[in-house]
Amino acid sequence: MYSAEDIKELVEKSLKGIQYPDGPSDLYAPIAYSLSIGGKRIRPILALLSCNLFTDRITDKCILPAAGLEVFHCFTLVHDDIMDKADMRRNQPSIHKKWNINTAILSGDAMCIESYKLLYYAEISKIPEILQSFNKAAFNVCEGQQYDMNYEHKTTVTEEDYLKMIELKTAALISVSTKIGAIMGGASSSDVDRLARLGLNLGMAFQIQDDIMDSYSDSKKIGKDTGLDIANNKKTYLLTSAIRLAKGDRKKRLIALLNEKDIPVEKKYAEMKEIYDSLKVRDLADAKVKEYFSAVENELKAIDVKQDRKYYFKEFIDNLFGRQR
């Protein structure tokens, strides 16, 4: 059995081992930079933990496709940072800031292609199912990002709309990571489906927790500027809850803050935080995270392997959400 720490070492080694052509350097250097500035490596770790539930043979036929999931995730971040005008990623300058926007777009495209190259290292008989699942998730990510951008220009977005958007943008890739891991491990079709649902619920919980951190955590802790969601009118679980709950003058001020274009970012952030606190929407978001996490635990319990094989998987997801065993 492999712990999450063991698996992360395998993933880091595989990412560092990616070979790039000699040039043009402006195309490949940003890729190496993006993969070198850290990250939790949640998706490849989940893929290999899922695989390890069913087999102890964790070879390059599993490790390299898992690394491909991380490369694809980093590609989405490169393009997201451009669209969100985010100048920091993991406490380092974003690629479009360190180089330029055109270079970031093209390097991101190359990263997408690289992710597919790595997926093709999987066992030949499993590649069709892996690619079919991955392609669907990749389209979902694009759809979710488009909804996310569309919602920036809408004053009101319902909680239902928001949850559908993050299911596509964030949860779909985490879901396919656990699903692909199960496929690589030789799981039954029912356990493949369970791990896909587990990953989906985990992704939902993870994104809502990220919403909370964007508004309430220190920028050094989260590796990017705090309050970007508020500054960019990103529709989050906090904001959709506030829109639903706010009444009277508070509702009018909330709508005004979303529509005012010249308000200083610091003032907007402070006023939105005051509204959030008065409506206790953080408590609602915390409760939603726990709801999805409970669904994750139920799916894990139902997976048809011995309990001791689930130890490291449960340890990882507990640590991911700051829970104690």
Output the CA torsion 42→225→230→78 (10° steps).
Answer: -50
pLDDT, mean of residues 53-63 = 97
Is pLDDT above 80 for 173? yes
Q: What is the pLDDT of residue 324?
A: 37
pLDDT-above-70 percentage for the chain: 97
Q: At what angle do helices 265-279 and 281-302 cross, to 10 degrees?
A: 70
Q: Is residue 325 part of a domain?
A: no
Q: Is residue 304 part of a domain?
A: yes
Q: State the total domains in the chain.
A: 1
Q: What is the pLDDT of residue 153?
A: 87
**pLDDT tens-digit map of 280-297:** 999 999 999 999 999 999
Q: What is the pLDDT of residue 325?
A: 31
- Determine the structural domain holding residue 39 and report its residue range: 4-320
Q: Is residue 9 part of a domain?
A: yes
Q: Is residue 228 part of a domain?
A: yes
What number of CA atoms fall less than 13 Å from residue 209's CA on the CB side?
16
Closest CA to 166 of 134, 144, 151, 133: 144
**pLDDT tens-digit map of 39-56:** 999 999 999 999 999 999
Is pLDDT above 90 for 84? no
The average confidence (pLDDT) of the chain is: 94
Q: Is residue 30 part of a domain?
A: yes
Q: Which DSSP symbol is given to 92?
A: E
Q: Is residue 74 part of a domain?
A: yes
Q: Is residue 103 part of a domain?
A: yes
Q: What is the pLDDT of residue 220?
A: 56
What number of CA atoms fall less than 13 Å from residue 219's CA on the CB side?
12
Which has more confidence, 181 or 218?
181
According to DSSP, the residues that pair with 93 across neighbouring strands are 88
DSSP annotation string for 143-181: HHHHHHHHHHT-S---HHHHHHHHIIIIIHHHHHHHHHH
Please answer whether residues 289 and 209 qualify as being in contact, where contact means their C-beta atoms are separated by less than 8 angstroms: yes
Phi and psi, residue 88, nearest 5° = -125, 140
**pLDDT tens-digit map of 217-248:** 765 555 556 788 898 899 999 999 999 999 99
Please answer whether residues 174 and 43 qualify as being in contact, where contact means their C-beta atoms are separated by less than 8 angstroms: yes
**pLDDT tens-digit map of 69-81:** 999 999 999 999 9
**pLDDT tens-digit map of 108-124:** 999 999 999 999 999 99
Please answer whether residues 93 and 38 qualify as being in contact, where contact means their C-beta atoms are separated by less than 8 angstroms: no
197 band by pLDDT with thresholds 50, 70 and 90: very high
pLDDT, mean of residues 159-181 = 98
Is pLDDT above 60 for 210? yes
pTM reported for the whole predicted model: 0.94
Q: What is the pLDDT of residue 224?
A: 52
Q: Is residue 110 part of a domain?
A: yes
CATH number of residue 150's parent domain: 1.10.600.10
**Peptide bond preceding 24 in cis form (omega within 30 of 0):** yes
Please answer whether residues 75 and 95 qualify as being in contact, where contact means their C-beta atoms are separated by less than 8 angstroms: no
**pLDDT tens-digit map of 4-39:** 999 999 999 999 999 999 999 999 999 999 999 989
